[in-house]
Structure 1
Amino acid sequence: MKIYLVGGAVRDELLGRPIVERDYVVVGATPAIMIKQGYKQVGKDFPVFLHPETHDEYALARTERKSGQGYGGFICDFEQSITLEQDLFRRDLTVNAIAKANDGQLIDPYHGQDDLNNRILRHVGPAFSEDPLRILRVARFAARYDHLGFTIADSTMKMMENMVSRGELKTLTQERIWLEIEKCLADGAIEHFTTTLDQLGALTDVQPLLIDWNVQERTQLKKLLMRLPHSHPHNKIIQFCLWLYDTPSDKLKALEQTLKIPSRYAVALRDFCEHKACFIPSVSAQQLLTLFDRIDLWRRPERFDLLLEIITFSQYNNPSLIALIKEAAANTRAIDVQAIIAAGFCGAQIKTQLTQQRLSTLKTTFN
């Protein structure tokens, strides 16, 4: 039984990047051996085990053969005789097919180190075309490592183009597509991801709202994202909204349903797309009151705060105007309902009077 560090951890170590997670492949073992040594089995389709102390993932060396269409149509063979080289051959890219032994020796049968040095993303073998998810993964890696000068090998681009033309991406679930998009948002290079998919003719399958993607769109988004700190607590949500800033209101609901995006992304995008037009110098008091009502400033001020953050990093950024709107929001929220009741208003009159006072407060600032 031998254990090797594999995949992203080896790749990023060689690139001098921080290692986020460590995955291991185990050669010469069986599920029974792993369990006896205290590992906890978590895989169903193929044996993956968690280390009893570190909880890192350890997978038995395996081969795969296609048994159906799409991401999950594979039959795995994890016999004890499977070699490390066989396991590495099933991986997507040569740079992800490098293993590291406990003594530090690198096992690199498919020349991943050469491709790392030459900044090339290249598929390992013909089995690459059996898994459409790899199209999104390669686009994501190309985006992540673009600043290091990485490009996709021509042969790999051609293979992915053929996969797209055959409709392979249509076999992926929307949940899997969203997972790759969210990972790309975490990397902070969604504009490069989109451009790669556009070059492959894959945007219609992944994000049909961006089928008119062009150099101008990419340049504008990249410029905006350069101002957005990676450490910002809402980094991914802000990127997502800037990415889809031009989505028509009547398309928002369809987007939420088809892409299956989490509600925090959906609400933020809806607020931005529907209300970004309010952040102009000529905005009226009535427009702002409508904005405050629709985003429920009165009960959910954090929703308004997030909208301001998105606007701050968008092409609609106007610091003095944003500060003024923020002040107006605070002033309208400070209006005391109890004081209105104490003044003798009751029933529907309370709401009417509250609205009038809020509007009057806003007019003092904006009219």
Structure 2
Amino acid sequence: MQIYKVGGAVRDRLLGLPVTDVDWVVVGATTEEMLAQGYRPVGADFPVFLHPKTGEEYALARTERKSGRGYGGFTFHASPEVSLEEDLIRRDLTINAMAEDGQQNLTDPYHGQRDLENRVLRHVSPAFAEDPLRVLRVARFAARYAGLGFTVAPETLELMRQLSESGELQALTAERSWKEISRALMEDQPQVFIQVLRDCGALKVLMPEVDALFGVPQPEAHHPEIDSGIHTLSVLEQAARHKQPLTVRWACLLHDLGKGLTPEEEWPRHIAHEHKGLKLIKTVNERFKAPKDCQELALLVGQYHTHGHRALELKASTLLELLQSFDVYRRPQRFEEFIVACEMDARGRKGLEQRSYPQADYLRGAATVARGVAVQPLLEKGFKGPELGEALKRERLKALKAYKESR
């Protein structure tokens, strides 16, 4: 029995990055031998075990063969005869197909170390094209390592393009797709993830609503970058740069989908794009079964982001309606995420990345004023039920008018 550290732990150590998750491969062992040493089985489809003390995953060396569509369409074969090289060749990228023993002696049959040095994301073998999930994974790695200068090898991008055109991407489950998308959006440069998907034709398969934004112009006075797709990438970049949570990044990606529906004769204006985009945002949310908080914020940002930009001009009554729509009294955090999404939208414009956004503090102040209106005095006056709600609304409107006049 020989045990090797494999995959990301080896890759990140060689890159000088922190190693978080460690995967192990066991060569020359049987299931019975693993159980005899106290390892606990966890894999239903193939032999994976948890170490009796550390709880880390140890997998028996295995080969795989395509047997159906999609991510799960594989049969696995694990036995003591499977070599380390045979196990490594089934992996996605050369930089993930390296192993090291307990003395850090490197096994690198597919030149992963060379590709690390050259900053290239390259597939290990033609079997790469058998797993559609790898399109998303490679795009995610591109987003993670873009800051180090990594790019996707042209021949790998071509395989990704073939996969995108094959219909295999449609076989991915919503859960698997969302897991990759959500992880990619939380990388340092999530806009690279979207760009790579577009470069290989996967974006128009997975998110045609986002893909449709590229090539659609906007008024240059407000959008020096002009292209709606480029703007969306820039907004996403700003959200990552400012360390925003997944909810905000998802909303930033989807906020302008309505612009993809504008007839060409109306370009570069996009009248009522906020309302037109809601159906598309809902469709994308449902396609990937995004978490409820992501879905809700994306819809609210899509509908109200231009309200955010015009906050200083809004009438007190419109401001109150905006606050009510977000339920700022019970869910203040959601309104805060809306504010920062609007700020990322304002900064995601060529040459305007450092612009100030006074609307943010103005909206925060308005929310504080509205929440500060006390209910007790109205109860003491005898208001109850629907009448109490209307009285509270009147008092909040009065407070917002005073706030607006004081600014």
The residue correspondences of 1:231-250 to structure 2 (distance < 5 A) are: 232=243, 234-247=244-257, 248-250=277-279
Residue 112 of structure 1 pairs with residue 112 of structure 2: yes
Asked if the contact 2:175–2:289 (Cα under 8 Å) also holds between the matched residues in 1, the reply is yes
Q: Deviations over 1:197-219 (max 9, x none)?
A: 11111112221221134484565
Aligned partner of 1:92: which letter?
D
The range that moved more, 220-229 or 166-175, is 220-229
Asked if the contact 2:233–2:253 (Cα under 8 Å) also holds between the matched residues in 1, the reply is no
Q: Deviations over 1:124-154 (max 9, x none)?
A: 1111111111111111111211121212122
**Identity across aligned pairs (percent)?**
41
The residue correspondences of 1:322-333 to structure 2 (distance < 5 A) are: 322-333=360-371
Q: Deviations over 1:13-53 (max 9, x none)?
A: 11111112000100011111111111111111101111122
The residue correspondences of 1:125-136 to structure 2 (distance < 5 A) are: 125-136=125-136
**How far, CA to CA, are the matches of 1:183 and 1:167 in structure 2?**
23
Asked if the contact 1:191–1:243 (Cα under 8 Å) also holds between the matched residues in 2, the reply is no
Aligned partner of 2:206: which letter?
V
User: Relative to 1, partners in 2 of residues 1:337 and 1:56: Cα closer, same or farther, differing over 3 Å?
Assistant: same
Aligned partner of 1:10: which letter?
V
**How far, CA to CA, are the matches of 1:218 and 1:19 in structure 2?**
35
Residue 63 of structure 1 pairs with residue 73 of structure 2: no
Among candidates 368, 390, 394, match of residue 356 of structure 1: 394
**How far, CA to CA, are the matches of 2:240 and 2:8 in structure 1?**
24
The residue correspondences of 1:214-363 to structure 2 (distance < 5 A) are: 214=214, 216-217=227-228, 219-221=230-232, 223-224=234-235, 227-228=238-239, 232=243, 234-247=244-257, 248-279=277-308, 280=310, 281-315=312-346, 319-363=357-401
Q: Show the counterpart of 1:149.
A: 149
**How far, CA to CA, are the matches of 1:320 and 1:110 in structure 2?**
54
**How far, CA to CA, are the matches of 2:66 and 2:56 in structure 1?**
28
The residue correspondences of 1:167-178 to structure 2 (distance < 5 A) are: 167-178=167-178
User: Relative to 1, partners in 2 of residues 1:318 and 1:359: Cα closer, same or farther, differing over 3 Å?
Assistant: farther
Distance apart, 1:226 and its partner CA: 5.5
**How far, CA to CA, are the matches of 2:388 and 2:56 in structure 1?**
59
Q: Show the counterpart of 1:32.
A: 32
**How far, CA to CA, are the matches of 1:93 and 1:113 in structure 2?**
11
User: Relative to 1, partners in 2 of residues 1:65 and 1:186: Cα closer, same or farther, differing over 3 Å?
Assistant: same
User: Relative to 1, partners in 2 of residues 1:203 and 1:13: Cα closer, same or farther, differing over 3 Å?
Assistant: same
The DSSP-based 3-state class of the residue aligned with 2:70 is coil
Q: How many residues align?
A: 366
Give the TM-score normalised by the residue count of structure 2: 0.85
Distance apart, 1:352 and its partner CA: 1.8
Asked if the contact 1:195–1:218 (Cα under 8 Å) also holds between the matched residues in 2, the reply is no
Aligned partner of 2:129: which letter?
S
Asked if the contact 2:100–2:106 (Cα under 8 Å) also holds between the matched residues in 1, the reply is yes
Q: Which runs of 5+ in 2 are unaligned?
A: 216-226, 258-276, 348-354
**How far, CA to CA, are the matches of 1:217 and 1:9 in structure 2?**
38
**How far, CA to CA, are the matches of 1:19 and 1:59 in structure 2?**
19
Aligned partner of 1:290: which letter?
E
Aligned partner of 2:361: which letter?
A
Q: Which runs of 5+ in 1 are unaligned?
A: none
The range that moved more, 101-110 or 223-232, is 223-232
The range that moved more, 122-131 or 313-322, is 313-322
Distance apart, 1:256 and its partner CA: 2.0
The DSSP-based 3-state class of the residue aligned with 2:186 is helix
The range that moved more, 4-13 or 326-335, is 326-335
Q: Show the counterpart of 2:270.
A: none
Give the TM-score normalised by the residue count of structure 1: 0.93
Provide the aligned C-alpha RMSD in A. 2.0
Q: Show the counterpart of 2:221.
A: none
The DSSP-based 3-state class of the residue aligned with 1:103 is coil
Q: Deviations over 1:288-316 (max 9, x none)?
A: 11111111122222222222233333317
**How far, CA to CA, are the matches of 2:386 and 2:72 in structure 1?**
58
Distance apart, 1:255 and its partner CA: 2.1
Distance apart, 1:340 and its partner CA: 1.1
**How far, CA to CA, are the matches of 1:23 and 1:198 in structure 2?**
31
Q: Deviations over 1:72-115 (max 9, x none)?
A: 11111101110001101111111111110111110011111111
User: Relative to 1, partners in 2 of residues 1:175 and 1:347: Cα closer, same or farther, differing over 3 Å?
Assistant: closer
The DSSP-based 3-state class of the residue aligned with 1:145 is helix
